[in-house]
Each structure stands twice: as structure tokens, then as C-alpha cells.
Amino acid sequence: MNILLTGATGFVGRRLLDRLSQGFAYNLTVAVRSQHPEIPAHSVLIESLDSTTDWISAVENKEVVIHAAARAHVMKEEVSDPLAEYRRINVEGTLNLAAQAAAAGVRRFVYISSVKVNGEQTELNRPFNENDAADPHDQYGLSKNEAEEGLRRISEDQGMELVIVRPPLVYGPGVKGNFATMVGLVAKGVPLPLGSVNNKRSLVSLDNLVDFIVTCVDHPAAANQLFFVSDGQDISTTELLLSVGQAIGKPARLIPVPAGMLVFGATILGKKALAQRLLGSLQVDISKAHDVMGWVPPLSVEEGLRRCFVTENAL
């Protein structure tokens, strides 16, 4: 099967590249902005990811496109108009690729979206499912939602199969952002006032996400479907910190502080959004992935974390 993969130098894309390069099932082409010696697959150079990109040579004779490239959430924004930049890359760039892929006869387009299309929080034990309306709360989530809407129009007009995958927080070797900060604090033995948080969060290990994406490449039932994906084990922030400590061999030092006090303190300090991520729930229902494709996460959260840190320590 001839596949084009974008975003192969990114966090998810690198692991996808490794998985798709194994064996002889896939004839893989990778789209990159510059040559990377660590990329063994055949590559094509693209100058940018926007409405002007010429994808003709990249999509020629391809059966499937996996689009993992995107402008991700930026911790320290440096552009003057972030929404315009998100739209230029995540919306215009995605739809330009999809339109050229459809015109070239690509059969299936697998799009890596985000749970942020649905929002930032769920009620406890009331996870998002594929029938819930989109409700993005930030510019990244808005751009992903707009890209999904445009992809559906192209799919319907051109007859190209579309698969949309919405993962929650993805963790694995090399993870950055808030997850990496949290791991660093546990590793340093910093006491954290998060010993009695009773929320529930869905996570997905890098290996579980990649396994699901690869399943979507050629599974007949995946055509024109939207899926949530996770490890299938929703855990609290307290449980996650304890599991991280166990995985790195340095017990988490957690102090039981009532959630209400934490929210109050965070609000005073202007950190309400951070408190929401630590204390609020964000769950996704992956029963559709099982019911439609028979997919079950290969790794537990514990195994995902163990592999994450074993791999990092080996580097």
C-alpha cells in the first residue's frame, strides 16, 4: 500500500514513521520541509504547509494520506495574530493537501485532530463521544474543528474516504509541555498539593495512538468515521502522579489539599486555566473504536508510562 505521511519529524509522526517502516506492508513516502538523515523512508520536500503548497508529486500514486503535521498548541506565543497562523497551517494547509489528494485519486485521508475540538472539560464520568457537538475553547481547537468541517466537504464532494482521529493528551518518550513539567517536579521530589484530586482524565500513550492510526489506514469499517482514542483507563491527577513516580522510581510526594482551596488559590494567582487542567475532568468514550473496528488499546497506562521512561532513560 502506498502511503504519504506528513509530520514525520513531530512527536506523533516520528513514532508513526517507525511503525510504518517496519516490514513490507507499506510503501511509505514522507513529506518534510528539509532533509533529515534519520528518516529512512523516501521523502519529498515541501517549502511550507499552507494554501500555496504544491503536493502533486507527493500524492501521485498514493492510496492513503496520513496527515499528522500541524501547528500545535504553543506555550509561548510569538506571532502577532495566532489565530491567523493556526488557520493558515491547520485549516488552509490541510484542505489544500486534501483537495490535491482527492484530485490525484487518493482513496483515504486519515486526519489527526484533537479532543480540543470538543472542549476543555467534561463532567465527571460523562465522557465526550462522537455524537457530541464541537465546542472548541481555544484557537488551536477552533482551527482543528474548521479543518474537520472542510475535510468533510471535500470528502463528500470528491468521494475520498475520510477518517478523523481525536486523541486527548498524548504521552511518550520526548513529551513536552505540562506533562513534562509534571514529570520533572516528581523526579525532583517537589511536594505537590495534589494528593486528593478526584477527577478523571483520559490519556493515550504514543504507542496506543500509533497502533490505532495504523488500524485506521486500511480497516474497511473506518471509512468516513470519527473516532476518539485513549488508553481506556481514565485516571485522576493524583493517580497519574503516583503512577509517574512508580515508573521513574521516585515516589511522588503528594499533599492532600481540598480541590476548592486549590481552585481559590489558583484564581488569585491568575492560574485558573492551569487549575482546570489539573483538577478538572476530561474524558473520552472509545467504545465506538471497539464496536466498529474491534480495536482494544494494546498497552495499559502503567505499561505506557514504563515504556515512556525506560525509553527515555536508555537514550
Is residue 41 situated within a structural domain? yes
Count of alpha carbons within 13 Å of 199, Cβ hemisphere only?
A: 24
Is residue 244 situated within a structural domain? no
Is residue 131 situated within a structural domain? yes
Is residue 230 situated within a structural domain? no
Is residue 47 situated within a structural domain? yes
Q: For every one of its 315 residues, what pLDDT tens digit does the chain have, with 9 covering 90 and above?
A: 999 999 988 899 999 999 998 876 888 999 987 766 666 668 787 888 999 999 999 999 999 999 999 988 665 667 778 899 999 999 999 999 999 999 999 999 999 999 999 999 999 999 999 999 999 999 999 999 999 999 999 999 999 999 999 999 999 988 888 888 888 999 999 999 999 999 999 999 999 999 999 999 999 999 999 999 999 999 999 999 999 999 999 999 999 998 888 888 878 888 777 778 888 999 999 999 999 999 999 999 999 998 888 744 443
| Domain containing residue 154 | 2-166
Is 140 tagged catalytic?
A: yes
Count of alpha carbons within 13 Å of 23, Cβ hemisphere only?
A: 5
Strands (E) located in 2-82: 2-6, 27-32, 42-45, 64-67
The conformation of residue 118, written as its DSSP 8-state character, comes to: T
d(CA 45, CA 49): 11
Task: Kindly report the CATH number assigned to the domain that includes residue 111.
Answer: 3.40.50.720
d(CA 57, CA 43): 11
- The CA-atom distances, in angstroms, between 3 and each of 32, 41, 138, 238 are 14, 11, 32, 41
- The CA-atom distances, in angstroms, between 179 and each of 93, 171, 172, 173 are 28, 8, 10, 11
Spatial contact of 315 and 173, defined as CB atoms under 8 Å apart: yes
Is residue 182 situated within a structural domain? no
Spatial contact of 105 and 204, defined as CB atoms under 8 Å apart: no
How many Cβ atoms are within 10 Å of 76's Cβ, its own excluded?
A: 4
pTM comes to: 0.92
d(CA 72, CA 112): 11
Number of structural domains found in the chain:
1
d(CA 10, CA 1): 23
d(CA 112, CA 134): 16
Q: Determine which one of 86, 111, 140, 171 is catalytic.
A: 140
Is residue 234 situated within a structural domain? no
